[in-house]
Amino acid sequence: MYETGARVAGSRIVLFVLPRDENGPRLGLTATRKVGGSVVRNRMRRLVREAFRRHRDLVGRWDMVINIRQAAVGSKFPAIEDEFVALVGRARKRLEPRPPVDGPTCPPAC
């Protein structure tokens, strides 16, 4: 996933996204001890999981791993939610198939 999927980073969270064939999205969360103690890490996981739950329709059929950064500590839910929605939009653009380019793929001097 980390090597073949799309990586989209924000100031509070980082999304790693990989399209899949099966129905429904899947979510994985990581928060290292650098983020804080277990209470802080679990609170951040709950906030991110709630943002995912509320905007599940935006995600599509993806496997998604979200790394929670230390900058997320102390953030209120609306800030986490806004960043999640923005990063999902950026990931969607990055994963869209690009149309083929007309004409030669290199300049005539090739």
CATH of the domain at 82: 3.30.230.10
* pLDDT tens digits along 13-56: 999 999 888 888 999 999 999 999 999 999 999 999 999 999 99
pTM value is 0.83
Q: How many domains does the chain have?
A: 1
- Alpha carbon of 103 to those of 44, 92, 110: distances in Å? 49, 27, 13
25: in domain: yes
By residue range, what is the domain housing residue 86? 6-95
Please answer whether residues 52 and 59 qualify as being in contact, where contact means their C-beta atoms are separated by less than 8 angstroms.
yes
